[in-house]
Amino acid sequence: MSDAIKHECGIALIRLRKPYQYYIDKYETPLYAVHKLSVMMEKQVNRGQDGAGVANIKIDVPPGKRYISRYRSVEPQPLTDIFSKIHKKFRKGLKNNRDHVNDAKWLQENLAFTGEVWLGHLRYGTHGSNEVENCHPMLRQSNWRSRNLVMAGNFNMTNVDELFGKLVSLGQHPKEKVDTVTVMEKIGHFLDEENQRVFERFKGIYENPTLSDVIEDNIDLPRLLYRSCRDFDGGYAMCGLTGYGASFVIRDPAGIRPAFYYADDEVVVVASEKQAIKAAFNVDYDQITEITPGSALIVDKNGEYNEFPILPRLEKRSCSFERIYFSRGTDPDIYNERKQLGKLLIPQILKEVNYDLENTIFSYIPNTAETAFLGMIEGLEEYLAKKRKQAIMEGILFEADLEKVLSFRPRIEKLVTKDVKSRTFITADALRDDMVSSVYDTTFEVVRKNVDTVVIIDDSIVRGTTLEKSILTMLDRLKPKKIVVVSSAPQIRFPDCYGIDMSRMKDFVAYRAVLKLLEERDMEYLLEDAYTQSVTALATKNPYHTNYVKALYEPFTDEEISQKIAEIVRPKGLNAELSVVFQTVENLHKACPGHLGDWYFTGNYPTQGGNKVVNKAFTNSYEGKLERAY
């Protein structure tokens, strides 16, 4: 994505199902879980580069011994920072105790990060400052082991105000009105209530300290999670560890955010992406299971696990952007889907280049678009194979013509290269344009000047600013006759509110194009209508039922909006002709049939809170406010 955006966080959970000594004996290291977690997190670093965190819980250590350990970091290389500190702690603790290196009991009583339950998190901060206090895992502490809670997640809630109000009504005094705090405190509140419920049940039967163990054995986590999460509206995959060693991962009812698990007799592991589990444990993909939407995978204190239905399931609307761009493309399903996205664009591309493949060069930007590019080339080869067959069937009289038909191949070149390991989107806005120019380079003398058309494919086009201010100018220096920019994703028209940093309407070049079209065709009354309806719905606390912004797009065809986008992103002084081609929503669903979350493109949100967010985002835009809509 040349207009890269912040998105998605990554989660990684490991539960060792056997005694700690087992792993020391079998794998000849007390760092077995540390190594596995570091691999799982490294393979998901694409999901978060603002910060990271690791938490660990020991089960059944004696009173007076620390049983929860946590490191978080916002250093430039947070994973390196965290795992270096963990290794340093081991080296320091064992420096004068080498004879205890294989003694699980001594290690657990004397060294941190020697527990059976592990939770890792990679953060992309969609909002809030990039400080270590904002990094997961979050910790809610108590002197009662069963009331401690560690949480991390990949989530955004659309109804933070309502959740905050519920906490206040319960008698709490939350320190911040953000979804991380409200989610943690709401689950923590019901964890406290569950502890109290079990305490009241057994207090006349058992005495402390036995009663504490009885409470831990009888806490009903499915009940607790239902009571905690029934009011949540958003996309989430949330992990929790209790102080006594039980753990859970709960997924939203529409399956918006991803979560997968693998289990055998040694471990239960969870990650945001299958590839992380595959890399760490070398298991087959068919052994990795998707957590059912609306369900929680719960691992109890004894290491037994099961999925429990928690919330009523909705129609599955898992995020299609995971497939287009966010997740690692080495997952075989995602790889094939991205290729299919490129292949399905062929009819539109051929039409745009007037079927003149002899004078057309195909390329891609950025590197993440390479798989869609391969699919596009595969589609071209299939088209050419049909043309060859047709030519032969019709009969070619001259050998030279036959040779030309049989030998012709699409022209493929690497025209734009990212030559610096830098991510332009983490640069301050004021410096970003200069940064983009410095991180891309172009290949000269392969385009025939004023003859060739250049077709360049991107994952998606969000703002269009990188195209306008850098890439198109660089391509124009090659002096092509025409530039065709192709997006493997449809036009992004509506904000996201489930974990991706796309919250402001005017950030979307498709929305800016519609504003231009409404102005040019004297249809600005539609803006006033949508604004009035949105403001009224928000004021009456009933903004959930209708997306009023959809009406702004309805008068125009996809092609009309694409044409206007091409005008908007066209830099001053560009000599080449320019057109922009977008994937269709229909073909997106063909390529990714199991992942129908398309609200960015269609405005069809999977939860009611999405309609509230889009109406609020639109009113903010109309009033000139730059604040977030959630």
Q: Closest Cα partner for 362 from 354, 349, 351, 185?
A: 349
* Higher-pLDDT residue of 629, 327: 327
Q: What is the 3-state secondary structure (H, E, C) of 39-60?
A: HHHHCCHHHCCCEEEEEEECCC
Query: 387 falls in which pLDDT band (50, 70, 90)?
Result: confident
Calculate mean pLDDT across residues 6-14.
85
What is the tens place of the pLDDT at every residue in 575-587?
999 999 999 999 9
DSSP string, 579-595: EEEE--HHHHHHH-TT-
- Residue indicated by tokens 């406290």: 192
The whole-number pLDDT of residue 435 equals: 53
Q: 180 or 591: whose pLDDT is higher?
A: 591
Phi, psi (degrees; rounded to nearest 5) at 269: -130, 145
Task: Tell me: pLDDT of 423 over 50.
Answer: no
Could you tell me how far CA 290 lies from the centroid of its own chain?
16
| pLDDT for residue 419 is more than 70 | no
Name the residue type at position 626.
Answer: L
Rg (alpha carbons) of the chain, rounded to whole number: 27
Q: From the CB of residue 615, how many other CB atoms can be counted at a distance below 10 Å? A: 25
Question: How confident is the model over 224-247, as pLDDT tens digits?
Answer: 999 999 999 999 999 999 999 999
Looking at residue 113, its pLDDT comes to 97
Residue 359: how many other CB atoms lie within 10 Å? 15
**In 3-state terms, the chain is what percent helix, strand and coil (to 5)?**
45, 15, 40
Sign of CA dihedral 187, 191, 194, 196: negative
Specify the 3-state DSSP secondary structure of 394.
Answer: helix
pLDDT of the residue at 351: 97
Sign of the torsion formed by the C-alpha atoms of 511, 10, 364 and 598: negative
Name the percent of the chain lying above pLDDT 90: 74
Domains of the chain: residue spans and CATH: 10-316 (3.60.20.10), 332-623 (3.40.50.2020)
In angstroms, the CA 80 to CA 38 distance is 9
- DSSP-based three-state secondary structure for 157: strand
Let me know how many helices (H) and strands (E) the chain has, helices first.
24, 20
Residue 542: pLDDT above 80?
Answer: no
Phi, psi angle pair for 209, to nearest 5°: -85, -5
H/E segment holding residue 365: none
Q: What is the pLDDT of residue 388?
A: 87
Least confident of 159-168, 319-328, 389-398: 389-398
Q: Of 8, 44, 37, 6, which is closest to residue 23 (Cα–Cα)? A: 37
CA distance 121 to 44: 9
**CB distance 162 to 231 below 8 Å:** yes
pLDDT of residue 427: 43
* pLDDT band of 7, cuts 50, 70, 90: low
Which H/E stretch holds residue 147?
none
Q: How far apart are CA 612 and CA 604, in angstroms?
A: 12
* Tens digits of residue pLDDT in 244-269: 999 999 999 999 999 999 999 999 99
Strand partners, 54: 71, 120
In this predicted structure, what is the pLDDT of residue 489? 97
Cβ neighbour number for residue 423 with a 10 Å cutoff = 12
For residue 541, the SS3 value is coil
Residue 426 has pLDDT above 80, yes or no: no
Band the pLDDT of 400: cuts 50, 70, 90.
Answer: confident
Positive or negative, the Cα torsion across 279, 280, 285, 289?
negative
pLDDT at 424 over 80: no
Average pLDDT over residues 20-47: 96
Q: Which of 114-128, 421-435, 501-515 has the lowest mean pLDDT?
A: 421-435
pLDDT of the residue at 516: 98
| pLDDT of amino acid 429 | 47
397 confidence band (pLDDT: 50, 70, 90): low
Confidence of residue 5 (pLDDT cuts 50, 70, 90): low
In the structure encoding, which two tokens stand for residue 285, read together? Answer: 């993909």
Beta strands in 58-173 (DSSP E): 68-73, 117-123, 138-140, 149-157
Pairing type for strands 138-140 and 149-157 reads antiparallel
In order, the DSSP letters of 274-331 are HHHHHHHH---GGG-EEPPTTEEEEE-TTS-EEEEE-S-------BHHIIIIIS-TTS
Q: Which of 530, 492, 522 is nearest to 623 (CA)?
A: 530
Q: What is the DSSP string of 439-496?
A: HEEE--SSSPTTT-EEEEEES--SS-HHIIIIIHHHHHTT--SEEEEEESS----S--
Identify the residue with better confidence: 408 or 486.
486
pLDDT for the residue numbered 391: 81
| d(C-alpha 122, C-alpha 82), whole Å | 12
Residue 437 scores a pLDDT above 90: no
Strand-pairing partners, residue 184, are none
Q: What is the pLDDT, as a whole number, of residue 2?
A: 56
Rounded distance between C-alpha atoms, residue 166 and residue 171, angstroms: 9
Distances (CA, A) of 526 to 20, 269, 553: 65, 51, 10
Residue 330 CB neighbour total at 10 angstroms: 14
pTM: 0.92
CB 221 within 8 A of CB 298: yes
Nearest to 508, CA basis, from 607, 601, 627, 426: 601
pLDDT over 70, % of the chain? 93
pLDDT at 434 over 70: no
The 10s digit of each residue's pLDDT in 476-512 is 999 999 999 999 999 999 999 897 878 889 999 999 9
Q: Residue 469 — pLDDT band, cuts 50, 70, 90? A: confident
pLDDT of residue 407: 82
Query: Is-contact 311 269, C-beta < 8 A?
Result: no
Where does residue 128 rank: exposed (0-12), middle (13-18), buried (19+ CB within 10 A)?
Answer: middle
Contact 158, 183 (CB under 8 A): no
Per-residue pLDDT, 428: 46
Q: What is the Cα–Cα distance from 34 to 412, expressed in whole angstroms?
A: 44
Confidence of residue 375 (pLDDT cuts 50, 70, 90): very high
pLDDT over threshold 60, residue 42: yes
Single-letter amino acid code for the residue at 458: D
Regarding predicted confidence, which is higher, 134 or 431? Answer: 134
